[in-house]
Amino acid sequence: MGQSLARLNKVELINLPQLKGRDRNDIVLTSPSLHMLRVRDCPQLTQLFEYSGYNVSSLEILSLSGLAELRVIWSGPIQVEHFQNLTQLTVRDCRRLRYIFSRTIARNLPQLRTLIILD
Contact between 103 and 76 (Cβ < 8 Å): no
d(CA 96, CA 100): 11
Higher pLDDT, 80 or 107: 107
Contact between 24 and 51 (Cβ < 8 Å): no
What's phi and psi for 54, nearest 5 deg? -70, 135
Enumerate the domain spans of the chain.
3-118
d(CA 41, CA 77): 26
Report DSSP state, residue 38: E
User: What is the predicted pLDDT for the residue at 4?
Assistant: 63
What does pTM read for this prediction? 0.85
Distance in angstroms between the alpha carbons of the first and the last residue of the chain: 36
Burial class (CB in 10 A: 0-12, 13-18, 19+), 18: exposed
User: What is the predicted pLDDT for the residue at 52?
Assistant: 58
User: What is the predicted pLDDT for the residue at 22?
Assistant: 56
d(CA 46, CA 32): 24
pLDDT in tens, 41-57: 999 998 887 655 666 78
